Structure 1
């Protein structure tokens, strides 16, 4: 019988109504398990109540706490299930994908759109399938299990705010899916996934700037001294208003000239950036310190930069690390 460690962090799945009428995490890890007693039929589960937070309050400190809990217990369990709120689950899944690389054991995140406290809910379904996947001999790596889907941690995005099928795999196949309670595997464990590599240092000094038509360029100099890297969510395949004659280009040039990184991504949900297509992007692409996220998700882009900056202070090395694919984050 396989052994699983359940790491509870809060979220909607563990929420109860408050006196004020909203929801807040209050259900413990043991209470979660008691709602799905049939799990005991095929595995042994130990639990850790690491946090009890709304996922809006999850960040780099908590990501490191989860990674540390996995690392500390890695040799004692066959797999790990992390219950988590849905709103920032994509960020946490991406962060764990960089901090726990090449894991032959599954590190699975799940949650729900309705509390397990409710009578009719997706919570029991998701928790059962997350544990079932973690117990499967072909399971591997950091994954999100949600609404019968198994999605790579670097490819998962929350694309619906209320529906049970809240998560999508962006521009890459799902790892697996459940049909009823049968797991159908699409992507096999890579041969090089033999020993987990833990690398948990993070630097959260990354600013994400979503461009809007008419935005003034003076926002970028205001970030100097506060942030080490800038993500520019640009239009379409990417570019800067005004091209290489514009104030925005000059601000990005000065930002990079100060030794910082600027990463271009797109506001479009699918297919990624390509600064080489239009003249408004080609000059920016040529600037030292400018990188492209290509088809990375916004969550993976921001979190990977935090992870990269935690590994090195050398810009050339940081550029190399950012552009090195990790669990198919860049194709």
Structure 2
């Protein structure tokens, strides 16, 4: 049997009702005790990395989780992280950059209802996550939730209450799980995400996948996300300037940035890049991605140093990747090289 390390971090799955609402109280051991069927799947050990509401998850906590995994990496066949849903997509993306090309699966899961709730989704999510982690073909970072396997850099929480909380943005599901059966994308007949063509790992890449992952330990957490709205002026960028090394700018549509008599965004944006800071452009539209070259209101920012284009990446992945990139280098050429390198399928490889 495979040997899996379960890393408990808190979240709704571990929560109990208190006088002020739900708060994490159950340990990893108690959570697994609710699902005795997992003992037929694998041998496992449990470590309690933290016990927090995932709203309180910070970049330093991502590093702690990554360190916990790597400290035990040689002793286990896979890893399952029990996590709150609110920031799970951020953590999954961050782990994709901190632990790259892992030949062993690193699976995140949680639930929309606490484990002790009589109508919880926690039991099946925990069981299916361990089931997926035990598969010989599973590798790298992913989210397993409501019978869907989502690449770690493509997960997005779409719903606040429903059990199918997560969606895969701009990338097909590599697998689904029906009861106790893992069905890979290559055996589905067609991609589950019908609007996205299947993108399989090349045979050469699978052969060359290293026996151990590449591991990183540095993040620059001085990164902020700003969504443009009608009427918002560029002075907001000036207000953020002193505290942050990079701003992820969620622009309109496929790449619209206003430039009017009252809103001189070009001056404000180039003011950031002229002193060594970065501006990452992305779209606030969930699907299909950014292309600044389509309209005049975006083309001004093409091929500018320290302006990075998010392509079809999720905002969650852009936050984590920008922190990772700037944690490795502030040199604009090196930073751009790292940023545009596809990692765990985070962006279309032809960007």
Q: Same fold (TM over 0.5)?
A: yes
Pair 1:283–1:248, CA change in 2 (3 A): same
Aligned partners of 1:233, 1:15: CA distance in 2, in Å? Answer: 33
Q: What does 1:1-331 correspond to in 2, within 5 Å? A: 1-20=1-20, 22-186=21-185, 190-194=206-210, 195-242=212-259, 246-331=263-348
Aligned partners of 1:243, 1:103: CA distance in 2, in Å? Answer: 48
Aligned partners of 1:238, 1:170: CA distance in 2, in Å? Answer: 18
Structure 1 residue 313, shift from structure 2 partner? 2.2
Structure 1 residue 226, shift from structure 2 partner? 1.5
Confirm or deny: 8 A CA contact 1:244 1:284 kept in the other structure.
no
Structure 1 residue 246, shift from structure 2 partner? 4.8
Aligned partners of 2:263, 2:99: CA distance in 1, in Å? Answer: 41
Confirm or deny: 8 A CA contact 1:265 1:298 kept in the other structure.
yes
SS in 2 for 1:75: helix
Q: CA RMSD in A?
A: 1.5
- The one-character-per-residue Cα deviations of 1:110-147 (angstroms, maximum 9, x if unpaired) are 00000001111100000000001111111111000000
TM-score by length of 1: 0.97
Structure 1 residue 243, shift from structure 2 partner? 6.7
Aligned partners of 2:260, 2:296: CA distance in 1, in Å? Answer: 7
Confirm or deny: 8 A CA contact 2:255 2:283 kept in the other structure.
yes
SS in 2 for 1:177: strand
Structure 1 residue 245, shift from structure 2 partner? 9.7
Bigger drift between 293-302 and 173-182 goes to 173-182
Pair 1:243–1:138, CA change in 2 (3 A): farther
Query: Following superposition, which runs of at least 4 residues in structure 1 exceed 4 angstroms of deviation?
Result: 243-246
Aligned partners of 2:341, 2:30: CA distance in 1, in Å? Answer: 41
Pair 1:74–1:215, CA change in 2 (3 A): same
Structure 1 residue 230, shift from structure 2 partner? 1.1
Confirm or deny: 8 A CA contact 1:16 1:115 kept in the other structure.
yes
Aligned partners of 2:250, 2:55: CA distance in 1, in Å? Answer: 21
Aligned partners of 1:41, 1:288: CA distance in 2, in Å? Answer: 55
Bigger drift between 285-294 and 167-176 goes to 285-294
SS in 2 for 1:40: helix
Aligned partners of 1:274, 1:290: CA distance in 2, in Å? Answer: 13
Confirm or deny: 8 A CA contact 1:10 1:83 kept in the other structure.
yes
Aligned partners of 1:41, 1:280: CA distance in 2, in Å? Answer: 58
Aligned partners of 2:260, 2:337: CA distance in 1, in Å? Answer: 26
Confirm or deny: 8 A CA contact 1:265 1:292 kept in the other structure.
yes
SS in 2 for 1:220: helix
SS in 1 for 2:90: helix
Pair 1:242–1:33, CA change in 2 (3 A): same
SS in 2 for 1:191: helix
Bigger drift between 312-321 and 130-139 goes to 312-321
Length, aligned pairs only: 330
SS in 1 for 2:250: strand
SS in 1 for 2:38: helix
Confirm or deny: 8 A CA contact 2:233 2:263 kept in the other structure.
no
Aligned partners of 1:49, 1:59: CA distance in 2, in Å? Answer: 17
Aligned partners of 2:303, 2:209: CA distance in 1, in Å? Answer: 36
